[in-house]
Amino acid sequence: MIRSGKGGDGAVSFRREPFVPNGGPDGGNGGKGGDVIFAADRNLRTLMDLRYMKKYKAEPGQAGMSSNKYGKGGEDLVIRVPLGSVLIDEASGAFMADLSEDGARFTAAIGGKGGQGNSNFKNSVRQAPNFAEAGTEGQERTVVIELKLIADVGIIGLPNVGKSTFLAASTGAKPKIANYHFTTIAPNLGVVELANTGFVLADIPGLIEGAAGGAGLGHDFLKHVERTRLLIHVVDAAGSEGREPLDDYHAIRKEMAEYSPLLMEKPEIVCLNKMDIADVNSDAYKALLAYLEAEQIYYYTISAYTGQGVREVLNVVASRLAEIDRDAAERVGKTPLYGDQSQWMRVTRIEDDMDYKVVKIAIEEDGTYVLSGKQLHKIFDSTNFNDPESLAYLDKYLRTNGVIRKLKARGLVDGGTIRIKDFDMEWHDDE
């Protein structure tokens, strides 16, 4: 849950100085409440820092002061999240923002507006207003944060083709590796460090047939693939799982195409793995090479287990990354996770809220009429009950907005009780 800061209340003050007659009102305005802002930080990798703190509140604005001094605005609360964080409004399910670039910021809750001091309410008729405006409440909402993997390069392939072994051979990552006939459950990340450059490499969970339709880990796999700028497609050239290598290659490409045609546009480097045990004279291996060469798909032969050819592939990857047009890559990588960008939530000020001016009426068992509403509460908080002019302002608001008429239609009579917030008032009809 996040809550922006409440706006500071306006001040009620009158100028009092020796030898200055009729000083008049000089109450200053309250300061704006602090915003709640989410900021993407490349130095964060997980949402662990947010796990144990459930409520975040920005600083409220300072109340106005005498001599027309404005209150200080509340400090914004900046919540830092990893790159790839997706913000969703829990109440509506609306997609708010996708923070995929370092330093990207999104204001999820705008601070309340500061109230006006009594000096703003002086006019030719009202020379000495003894009331001021209360600051508006801050916005409150619950935000769901989902972390969508971001990596420069994704390692793709069917289960048990050697993706985790390739990651371990390329980086300092230490994924659990065994001769499993099922796939990695979650992505593993590692950083490749070369002489003059480096990049983030991700071992993406393997696909099964039907992944594009949601089978297995399919959608999780494909959503992670969206983020990457380049793909390393690992194929088991030895057919050690009893599958045809060429069928493996086609299976991955088919699922990517069915999920999103944009994925097919990503640059891809094909690595024929397990060459230390592959039979280069087998019909399956020859069929694979014949297809790749016919389609002019350049490939590398490697053994992630022994390290053969791995360094050469990494150098090629670094060169390809330098050549990739970043703008085009980011356009592909930002395919919205929750619908198109027109569905992004527009964060508004309270005054823009459609329900801001609505006054709700409820009737208690004892006959008390309970009024509630955002603008009503703001005006009520601004009311000085010891000042007739201030009370008249509240009464005028209730009448001009039809609240009194609706109350009478529901049975309000002279002497009836009206409750606003925790304050009960006895109603007397002067009409």
Residue 210 clears pLDDT 70, i.e. is over it: no
Average pLDDT over residues 353-364: 82
Note whether 373 and 361 are within 8 A (CB): no
Instruction: Fill in the amino acid letter for 72.
Output: K
Residue 219 clears pLDDT 50, i.e. is over it: no
Tell me: the pLDDT tens digits for 35-46?
999 999 888 877
**Pick from 80-84, 234-238, 334-338, 352-356: least confident:** 334-338
Distance CA 318, CA 31 (A): 51
Residue 119 clears pLDDT 70, i.e. is over it: yes
Residue 124 clears pLDDT 50, i.e. is over it: yes
pLDDT of residue 384: 80
Residue 57 clears pLDDT 50, i.e. is over it: yes
Distance CA 375, CA 232 (A): 57
Distance CA 347, CA 349 (A): 7
Question: At a CB cut-off of 8 Å and minimum separation 6, what does 31 contact?
Answer: 7, 8, 61, 62, 63, 64, 70, 71, 72, 73, 74, 114
Note whether 29 and 70 are within 8 A (CB): yes
Q: Which tokens go with 4?
A: 């922006």
pLDDT of residue 305: 92
Average pLDDT over residues 1-21: 85
Residue 339 clears pLDDT 70, i.e. is over it: no
Could you give phi then psi for residue 234, rounded to 5 degrees?
-90, 125
Tell me: the pLDDT tens digits for 382-412?
888 877 878 888 888 898 889 999 999 999 9
Residue 157 clears pLDDT 50, i.e. is over it: yes
Q: 84 versus 65: which is more confidently predicted? A: 65
Question: At a CB cut-off of 8 Å and minimum separation 6, what does 21 contact?
Answer: none
CATH 3.30.300.350 matches 353-426: yes
Of 46, 54, 63, nearest to 6 by C-alpha is: 63
Residue 149 clears pLDDT 90, i.e. is over it: no
Query: Residue ranges per domain, the chain?
Result: 1-147, 153-333, 353-426
Average pLDDT over residues 10-26: 80
Residue 201 clears pLDDT 90, i.e. is over it: no
Which class would CATH give 1-147? mainly beta
Residue 376 clears pLDDT 50, i.e. is over it: yes
For the chain, percent of residues with pLDDT exceeding 90: 36
Q: 270 versus 159: which is more confidently predicted? A: 270
Q: 272 versus 182: which is more confidently predicted? A: 272
Average pLDDT over residues 128-156: 85
> What's the pTM value of the predicted model, to 2 decimals?
0.58
What dotted CATH number matches 153-333?
3.40.50.300
pLDDT of residue 82: 86
Average pLDDT over residues 309-336: 71
Residue 183 clears pLDDT 50, i.e. is over it: no
Average pLDDT over residues 366-370: 93
Residue 172 clears pLDDT 70, i.e. is over it: no
Q: 94 versus 143: which is more confidently predicted? A: 143
Q: What is the mean pLDDT of the chain?
A: 81
Residue 86 clears pLDDT 90, i.e. is over it: no
